[in-house]
Structures are given as C-alpha cells and as structure tokens.
Amino acid sequence: MNQRVMFYFDMDGVIADWVSAYNANAPMPLSDFELLSREERAVLKEDLFNREFFANMPALDRGMRLLLDFIDQGHDVMILSASGRVNREEVIQGKIEMLYRHIPSHIEARFVDKVEMKSQEMVEGYDIHVLIDDRPQAIDAWVAAGGVGYLFV
C-alpha cells in the first residue's frame, strides 16, 4: 500500500531570500537587529515588515529549484510560512504576491503566527508530513507533532 506524503515548504530562508530583503531595506545589520529587545524589534518590524518588503523578496534559487522539482515530479506540496503578528495581513498579502510571481497558482499557501505552530496545519488524509524549513525550532515542533523534518541549510 502506498503512503500519501505531503511536502510543506517554508518561505523565508527556503524559497524566499529574506536575508537579502532585510539587508536591502533595514536601517541596521541583522546581527544588531537580533540584539535588540523584543520591544525594540517590534518597533522596527512595524516600520519594515510590510506588504512591499515581502512581495519584493527575491527567490532563493536552491530552495525554489527544489520546490519546483517536487511540483514537476507530481508530489503534493504546500507552502507553510510564519507571518508573525506585526502587520500580519500586510505580511501575508506580500508573501502571496511573491509566491504567485514564482510558483504555479494552484499551490496552496498557509500562514501561522509563529514557526512553532506549523504542525497545526498538517493536512488530513496524508500518512507522512514532511516539513522543509531553515529554522530548527520549526523542525523540532514539527517532529514532536509526528512529522518528518528536514533542516534546509
């Protein structure tokens, strides 16, 4: 009996070059941003993370090729991305715009607030759920929920 497998691809850091978008738009290096307090990061995110930021992210060639190869081979794939809570609707709209410039429009995209919540989006009817993500905390939560995780580096 064949098992049904769904492959879930993260966006930022897998198929979209979030780091390049950040470096092109942010007022400070990423290493400095990561040192800010939660409150200070929230203020910067409010200004920086809007529809245009995410809509204009360049594709990450290696991840995009992997995704398109999976689609071409007939695998069931879905985009599963965290939107955060700051400017959430704008972020989602921008991510959708980015996706539709690069992937077939029939591929579904789902968005969660935090990477640790991705396992809540496992699609029923599949025996195996494979997440391809660049964040260890996303992989850890996914595997804890019974999925298979591949860290994209």
What pTM value is reported for the model? Answer: 0.93
Collapsing DSSP to helix, strand or coil, 91 comes out as helix
User: Looking at the predicted structure, is the pLDDT value of residue 1 above 70?
Assistant: no
- Averaged over 5-20, what is the pLDDT? 97
pLDDT tens sequence across 60-118:
999 999 999 999 999 999 999 999 888 999 999 999 999 999 998 899 999 999 999 99
Encode pLDDT of 49-62 as tens digits: 999 999 999 999 99
Do β-strands 5-9 and 76-82 pair in parallel, antiparallel, or remain unpaired? parallel
% of the chain at pLDDT higher than 90: 90
Give me the residue spans of the domains in the chain.
Answer: 5-151
What is the DSSP pairing of strand 76-82 with strand 128-133? Answer: unpaired
Residue percentage of the chain with pLDDT more than 70: 99
- For 97-136, b/e burial (b = at least 16 CB within 10 A) is ebbeeebeeebebebbeebbebbeebeeeeeebbbbbbbe
CATH number for the 5-151 domain, one of 3.60.150.10, 3.30.360.10, 3.40.50.1000, 3.30.470.30?
A: 3.40.50.1000
